[in-house]
Chain A
Amino acid sequence: GAVVSQHPSWVICKSGTSVKIECRSLDFQATTMFWYRQFPKQSLMLMATSNEGSKATYEQGVEKDKFLINHASLTLSTLTVTSAHPEDSSFYICSARTSGRRAQYFGPGTRLLVL
Chain B
Amino acid sequence: GDSVTQMEGPVTLSEEAFLTINCTYTATGYPSLFWYVQYPGEGLQLLLKATKADDKGSNKGFEATYRKETTSFHLEKGSVQVSDSAVYFCALGVRDDKIIFGKGTRLHILP
List residues of chain A with CB under 8 Å of any chain B CB.
Answer: 4, 6, 32, 34, 36, 41-44, 46, 49, 93, 95, 97, 102-109
Contacts and interface: CB of A to CB of B under 8 A. Distances in A.
A28 to B, nearest CB: 14
Contact of A44 (B41, B45, B89, B93): B89
Contacts of B89: 43-44
Contacts of A103: 46
Interface residues of B, number: 19
The residue in A34, A95, A104, A107 that gathers the most chain B C-beta atoms within 10 A of its C-beta is A104
Interface of B: 4, 36, 41-46, 89, 93, 96-104
B43 A109 contact: yes
Nearest to B49: A103
Contacts of B43: 4, 6, 93, 105-109
A46 B41 contact: no
A6 B44 CA distance: 13
A93 B44 contact: yes
A106 B101 contact: no
Nearest to A45: B101
Interface centre among A34, A103, A106 (most CB of B within 10 A): A106
A34 to B, nearest CB: 8
A109 B103 CA distance: 16
Given A106-B44, A107-B43, A43 B4 contact: yes
A98 to B, nearest CB: 12
